[in-house]
Copies of this chain bind each other. A is one copy, B any other.
Amino acid sequence: MDNPFPADSVGLVEPQREAFDKPLALDCGRTLDAYELVFETYGTLNAERSNAVLVCHALSGSHHAAGYHDNGDRKPGWWEACIGPGKPIDTNRFFVVCVNNLGGCHGSTGPSSTNPETGEPYGPDFPIVTVADWVRSHARLADRLGIDAWAAVIGGSLGGMQAIQWAIDFPDRVRHVVAIAAAPRLSAQNIAFNEVARQAIRSDPDFADGRYQALGAIPRRGLMLARMLGHITYLSDEAMRAKFGRDLRKGKDDFNFNYDVEFEVESYLRHQGRTFVEHFDANTYLLMTKALDYFDPAAQYDDDLSTALEGVSARFLVVSFTSDWRFPPSRSREIVRALLDGNKNVSYAEVEANEGHDAFLKPITHYFSVFSAYMDRVATEVRA
Contact across chains for A229 and B229 when beta carbons are under 8 A apart:
yes
Contact across chains for A246 and B296 when beta carbons are under 8 A apart:
yes
Distance, CA A192 to CA B192, complexed state (A):
17
Contact across chains for A188 and B228 when beta carbons are under 8 A apart:
no
Distance, CA A189 to CA B187, complexed state (A):
20
* A188: chain B residues within 8 A (beta carbon): 237, 240-241, 243-246, 263-265
Distance, CA A199 to CA B200, complexed state (A):
11
Q: Out of B192, B202, B244, B266, name the residue touching A232 (CB < 8 Å).
A: B192
Interface segment out of the listed A12-20, A69-77, A153-161, A252-260: A252-260
Q: Number of residues in A with C-beta < 8 Å to the partner?
A: 54
Contact across chains for A199 and B225 when beta carbons are under 8 A apart:
yes
Distance, CA A228 to CA B228, complexed state (A):
15
Q: SS class of chain A's interface: helix, strand, loop or mixed?
A: helix
Distance, CA A178 to CA B66, complexed state (A):
55
A189 smallest CB distance to B (angstroms): 5
Interface: A186 (CB within 8 A): yes
A204 smallest CB distance to B (angstroms): 8
Interface: A196 (CB within 8 A): yes
* A245: chain B residues within 8 A (beta carbon): 188
The complex is assembled from copies of this chain, and their number is 2
Residue interface mask A210-242, B partner, CB < 8 A = 1: 000000000001001100110110010100110
A116 smallest CB distance to B (angstroms): 20
Distance, CA A240 to CA B189, complexed state (A):
6
* A4: chain B residues within 8 A (beta carbon): none
Contact across chains for B29 and A257 when beta carbons are under 8 A apart:
yes
Interface: A339 (CB within 8 A): no
Pairs of residues from A and B, 6 with the lowest C-beta to C-beta distance, nearest first: A28-B257, A188-B240, A203-B221, A188-B244, A188-B265, A195-B266
Q: Besides the contacts A188-B246, A192-B232, A195-B269, what 13 more A-B pairs have beta carbons closer than 8 Å?
A: A28-B255, A128-B257, A188-B237, A189-B232, A189-B241, A192-B228, A195-B263, A196-B228, A199-B224, A199-B273, A200-B200, A200-B225, A229-B229
27 sample A-B contacts, Cβ–Cβ < 8 Å, listed by A number: A28-B255, A28-B257, A127-B257, A186-B246, A188-B244, A189-B241, A191-B246, A191-B265, A192-B228, A192-B265, A193-B232, A195-B263, A195-B265, A195-B266, A196-B228, A196-B229, A198-B259, A199-B224, A199-B225, A200-B225, A202-B259, A203-B224, A203-B225, A205-B205, A229-B229, A255-B294, A259-B290
